Amino acid sequence: MRPLLDVVDLCRRFPVGKSQLHAVDMISLHVMPGEAVGLVGESGCGKSTLVRMLTRVLDPTEGSIRFDEREIGYIPAARFTRTPDRALIQMVFQDPTESLNPRFTAFDCIADPLRRLKGPWTTAGLKARVEDLAGMVGLPVELLGRFPHQLSGGQKARVGIARALGPEPRLLILDEPTSALDVSVQAVVLKLLDDLRRRLGVSYLFVSHDLNVVRLLCERVIVMYLGKVVESGPVEAVFATPRHPYTKALLSAIPSRGEEGGPRIRLSGEPRSPIDPSPQVCRFFGRCPLGADACQTEMPELREMGEGHRVACHTPMD
């Protein structure tokens, strides 16, 4: 089977004065048809920048993005909106307040991509489809006439998810879709996503800070740190035996109501700057509890540690 999404050496740099901020630095990844891949990592490590390039709303500095074996990385973001692939790759944005048009009612927010990318619709047909989508994500139909400022955070988040599902994408990229949702609605949405994957073979790239949710929904997980992938592999393997010291610290910090889990690893030391970072020094150096000499002179590369489990560290843990 060929990957649905295949990304090679993707980079995005932003100018900051005379310097360059390396938001995404030589990232390669793939998503298979019907696969759910989780993307986790520290706030500011480049997850949104990466997924905004993949959904082609942001142009890469370098690298290739292949969707269904077609190169789409070179198509300027403004032109991509007019290609047929637009309907096939959809995105749920991180901040629902920012991504919903304040002059659209919830109904129109959901109907807009349907009108543009699907159809033609009859008035009744469109109404039925929008109400169906609202029902799928647990959004009460009586809220469809409201404007975004009249909705709560979690209600807006559900509008964002319904809108992205409307055009029946093959790849759905979700940037923190559940962070505004309470546990009950979250259960509804996660079950829905899982069902769409099983029934229709929809693929997901799922950015989340909620590691429990990643474990529930995803088969594979990618861990980023400051613009780089530091670990990736099957969810069970990575959660059971994290190899990268950052992953280990991350997993130890899950609030667990004191029931289980070992002591929390607190990272001390200053995080490195993403602006003009040294190409020789591991990005985690300085906060890493293991840091050795090699970490300051050579950037660790991703290495296979068994069964698709890869880690970029000179002193991987066991």
Partner 1 sequence: MMLLEIDNLSLNFRTRSGVVKALEDVSLSVGRGETLGVVGESGSGKSVLSFAVMGISDAAATVSQGAIRFEGLDLLKAGPSDLDELRGAEMAMIFQNPRTALNPIRPVGRQIADVLLRHAGVTRAQAQDKAVEMLARVRIPDPERRAKAYPFEMSGGMCQRVMIALALACSPKLLIADEPTTGLDVTTQAAIMDLVGELARESRMATLLITHDLGLAAERCDRIAVMHAGHVVEVAPTAELFARPRHPYTARLISTTPRPGASLAALEPIPGSLPDLRGELAPCRYSARCHLYQAECDAGPLPRQDDNGRMVACRRPA
Ligand X SMILES: Nc1ncnc2c1ncn2[C@@H]1O[C@H](COP(=O)(O)OP(=O)(O)OP(=O)(O)O)[C@@H](O)[C@H]1O
How many other C-beta atoms lie within 10 A of the C-beta of residue 103? Answer: 9
Instruction: Please say which residue, 35 or 176, places its beta carbon nearer to ligand X.
Output: 176
Position 44 contacts ligand X (CB under 6 A): yes
CB neighbour list of residue 245: distance below 8 Å, 6 or more residues apart: 284, 288, 289, 290, 313, 317
CB neighbour list of residue 179: distance below 8 Å, 6 or more residues apart: 157, 208, 209, 210
Pairing of strands 89-92, 70-71: unpaired
State the nearest-atom distance from the C-beta of 150 to ligand X, in Å.
Answer: 4
Instruction: Please say which residue, 40 or 229, places its beta carbon nearer to partner 1.
Output: 40
For residues 192 and 137, what is the distance between their CA atoms, to the nearest angstrom?
A: 8
Site for Mg ion in 52-111 (CB under 5 A): 94
Position 97 contacts partner 1 (CB under 8 A): yes
- Label residue 207 left, alpha or beta by phi (over 0 means left) and psi (-120 to 50 means alpha): beta
Partner whose footprint covers residue 142, from ligand X, partner 1, Mg ion, none (CB < 5 to 8 Å by kind): partner 1
Pairing of strands 310-311, 228-234: antiparallel
The binder of ligand X chosen from 6, 48, 130, 133 (CB under 6 A): 48
Position 97 contacts ligand X (CB under 6 A): no
Dihedral in degrees, nearest 10, Cα atoms 214, 184, 130, 141: -170
DSSP codes joined into one string, 160-171: HHHHHHTT--SE
State the nearest-atom distance from the C-beta of 208 to partner 1, in Å.
Answer: 9
Partner whose footprint covers residue 31, from Mg ion, partner 1, ligand X, none (CB < 5 to 8 Å by kind): none
> Using CB under 6 A as the criterion, which residues of the chain lie in contact with ligand X when the complex forms?
14, 21, 23, 41, 43-49, 94, 149-155, 274
> Using CB under 8 A as the criterion, which residues of the chain lie in contact with partner 1 when the complex forms?
14, 16-17, 40-44, 47-49, 94-98, 138, 140, 142, 145-146, 149-150, 152-155, 157-158, 176, 179-185, 187-188, 190-191, 194, 209, 211-213, 215-217, 249-250, 253-261, 264, 266-267, 270-275
